[in-house]
Structure 1
Amino acid sequence: MLRQTMTAISLAMLASAAHAATPEEVVANYADIAEAAYGDSLTTARALRDAIGDLIENPSEETLMAAKTAWTVARAPYQQTEAYRFGNAIVDDWEGRVNAWPLDEGLIDYVAEDTPSAEDNELAQLNVIATPSLELGSETLDAAEITPDTIRALHEAGGIEANVASGYHAIEFLLWGQDLNGTGPGAGERPFTDYATGEACTGENCDRRGAYLVAAADLLISDLEEMVANWEEGGEARTAVTTDAQAGLNAMLTGMGSLSYGEQAGERMKLGLMLNDPEEEHDCFSDQTHLSHYYDGLGIQNVYLGRYTRTDGSEVTGPSLSELVAEADPAVDEALKADLDATMTALTELRDKAEAGTAYDQMLAPGNTEGEAIITAAVDALVAQTQEIERAVAALGLNSIAFEGSDSLDNPDAVFE
């Protein structure tokens, strides 16, 4: 009986070894997850467009709130794709159209009178919604009708990145308006009458504001359609990571490490904390930054574990980086999985604190020691997992990867100075 049991165990071990994950299978699953996550981003963007249509057709507190809710829902799958940005040039070149921030919102619409203008951006308070003919340097842009092409022409006008005219954050601003509460409670408070008709309209230009919002939503959909196609069978992004599996693995780990360290821990979290500046938070109009941070962290973990939970509850799963690293160095795999779990624990605490009533911008307030501790714990966890990601690169025998900010890994504070 003992001999039979040992034989069964041996056969099981041999079967497992025979079906160990290969780099080719891992990068194929990585591409499948990208296709699914961008597909969910597209589906939820279409639902957002429908909600915006309802708002424009029947402006009310209810339809404005429904559009805001649809925006929040649409962000969840998209933020989980950000781990694909840094390792894939196709995604990085495209990303600025859909998720660029921070933005000089006065380019788009009215802002408070005391809103500072960037000294190097003469278009910072252009207000295209109130201006049917625009002077862009030596050129004149006819904006009598606001269309997706109008918005595309405005985006990063003058070569200035803060001139964000398209994407999630432009739509966010048009739904919430400026958050004028600083580090106090409250998000943007745009009234639904900004989209009303006739005498019910707040001030002027409600029709043009509605046209801009609709055009921005249509443009977001077309941009997402482009990226979904890039990850489908035969798509350029899928081909780039699957043709050369080793290059694909490099892309995966580059995306994980760069988002973890220089982007999320540094630009999106530590910088705002150092400056106590709510203008440095990612979703500053809606006060939804805690969700962006949470889903960014989850996206990094998804890439490593080779899994993604779709918006319909189904799961895309397959051969993973974790399996490859475990085969090369089990200790590195266990350490990295533990660090990814620790990061998600810290980001969950941050999310839950915000959902309980203390928004992310309030946590940034000078003297808020509890908020500072919560944000710092997440930053520290992201830095720690980046160091383990570097160990995973070495375990797999890949070429050294220059993560964003990774030249300062031996001096973690330096990247944030």
Structure 2
Amino acid sequence: MKNIALITSASVLALSLATSGYASQTDPVRNISSYALSKDAAGYIPDYNAHPVVTNYAALVLATYEQTLADAKDLQTAIKALLENPSQDSLNAARNAWINARTSYLQTEAFRFYEGPIDFVDEKTKEEGPEGHLNAWPLNEGFIDYTKGNPKGGLINDPSIPLTAASIRSQDQVEDEADVTTGYHAIEFLLWGQDMNPTSAGTRPVSDFIAGKGNNDRRRLYLTTVTEMVIEDLNFLVKAWAADDPDNYATKFIAMEDKEALGRILTSLATLSEFELANERIATGIDSGDQEDEQSCFSDNTLNDVIFDQRGIRNVYFGGYGDVAGAGLDTLVASLAPNLNNKMIAALNKTDGAISQLNYPYDSILASAADDPARAEAELVIQALQAQSDVIKEIGKLLGVMVVVPTGG
């Protein structure tokens, strides 16, 4: 994990985040809120009731995770069909199911970055949320399977290593954080193989999945096992956000003081927008020019990564996903500062517009010349995402809450 510096929308105040917001499913909600500011410290803060927003947010999170779990189960079914009858059609169906499953997961990234169920760290037990197992990247594909120039590489081609959930997880990111063994990108690599072409995705042959051939049975077992592990992690997240048990995180989140809950929500949105999307996922690749610095490099799905992460931010701000359509942040902000709400909507729309101009496939942007218009378009997305985060911080000041955003590695 990277060590990151923190800044806040009220930087004159000291902030301690030493205590996890989800250390375990039985810990009580903290008495001291790390995201709420006092009126004396922040100046005048209007009175408001954010409970409808917080309650609707919890319902939206649950609905998004439930859909993500359903789509992961569809992926599991498609993979089972591939392994039962390997063909180009069944391989294509499994790839399409992965893209669909990935689309729903991406929208859950707007629930990260405040040590909720997805990414908590328990300092006592060293237990962590499943984000690192679900979504870690970049991925060193040679750690999992054969690659160009190394036909016998990876765990799959090492029969001395048993391929169980426990053994695969025990190998995950041990000596190098790129030695990823689990999650969506491990499945992606297994379905597509290496991407050796700047204009198309990977082209793993369907023959890699025919039973009894070479180490194919180990590849088949690996693919089956890591898919089951994704579903197990998503089941954990669905349970954590089901507000039907006093020990579940959702119950505690809804019971938090308004400013504490809002600070977490806004921190998540600002961090995803500014740090994760603008800096880590887009600027890093633009600066390096390395096609391997695109997030979904095997499937060439990276443009969708950007689109649906941004969709997740919109979902939270407007309080809607699937059948959930209640009070969003827009409702609260509009009631207190209509001009600021309009400013946020304009920022969201500007970001959407900038993203719509990005080239496909995404890795062609990274491989382009320094003066290529595609790079200028990517820079406009970075600027729009950073400006969007700045407006979120303004909303934090209006509501009297901390908005905590990482600033670097």
TM-score range, shorter chain: 0.7 to 0.9
Q: 2:382 aligns with which of 379, 384, 389?
A: 379
Q: Shift of residue 216 of structure 1?
A: 0.8
Secondary structure at 1:171 match in 2 = helix
- Partner of residue 206, structure 2: 192
TM-score by length of 1: 0.80
| Distance in 1 (alpha carbons) for counterparts of 2:366 and 2:48 | 43
- Partner of residue 369, structure 1: 372
Q: Is the 8 A contact 2:317 2:328 kept in 1?
A: yes
- Partner of residue 16, structure 1: none
Gaps of 5+ in 1: 1-19, 116-124, 135-142, 406-414
| Distance in 1 (alpha carbons) for counterparts of 2:182 and 2:67 | 20
| Distance in 1 (alpha carbons) for counterparts of 2:61 and 2:115 | 11
- Partner of residue 167, structure 2: 150
Q: Shift of residue 126 of structure 1?
A: 5.9
Q: Shift of residue 97 of structure 1?
A: 1.0
- Partner of residue 402, structure 1: 404
Residue pairs, 1:7-406, within 5 angstroms: 22-92=49-119, 93-113=129-149, 127-134=154-161, 143=162, 146-158=163-175, 160-181=176-197, 184-198=198-212, 201=213, 204-233=214-243, 234=245, 236-244=248-256, 245-308=258-321, 310=322, 315-350=323-358, 353-354=359-360, 359-367=361-369, 369-398=372-401, 400-405=402-407
Q: Is the 8 A contact 1:109 1:129 kept in 2?
A: yes
| Distance in 1 (alpha carbons) for counterparts of 2:248 and 2:350 | 35
Secondary structure at 1:287 match in 2 = coil
Secondary structure at 1:89 match in 2 = coil
Per-residue CA shift, 1:45-103, capped at 9, x if unaligned?
A: 00000110011111111110000000000011110010101124321232111011001
- Compare CA radii of gyration and give the structure with the larger one: 1
Q: Shift of residue 303 of structure 1?
A: 0.9
Q: Percent identity?
A: 39
| Distance in 2 (alpha carbons) for counterparts of 1:288 and 1:254 | 26
Q: Is the 8 A contact 1:51 1:63 kept in 2?
A: yes
Per-residue CA shift, 1:267-323, capped at 9, x if unaligned?
A: 000110011111111100000000011000010111111111x3xxxx311111112
Which amino acid in 1 is paired with 2:387?
A: A
Q: Is the 8 A contact 1:30 1:306 kept in 2?
A: yes
Q: State how many pairs are aligned.
A: 350
- Shift in CA distance, 269/212, structure 1 to aligned 2, threshold 3 Å: same
Gaps of 5+ in 2: 1-46, 120-128
Q: Is the 8 A contact 2:368 2:374 kept in 1?
A: no
Q: Is the 8 A contact 2:209 2:217 kept in 1?
A: yes
Q: Is the 8 A contact 1:324 1:396 kept in 2?
A: no
| CA RMSD between the two structures | 1.9
- Shift in CA distance, 321/290, structure 1 to aligned 2, threshold 3 Å: same
- Shift in CA distance, 332/281, structure 1 to aligned 2, threshold 3 Å: same
Q: RCO (CA 8 Å, sep 6+): is it higher in 1 or 2? A: 2
Secondary structure at 1:293 match in 2 = helix
| Distance in 1 (alpha carbons) for counterparts of 2:253 and 2:139 | 32
- Partner of residue 412, structure 1: none
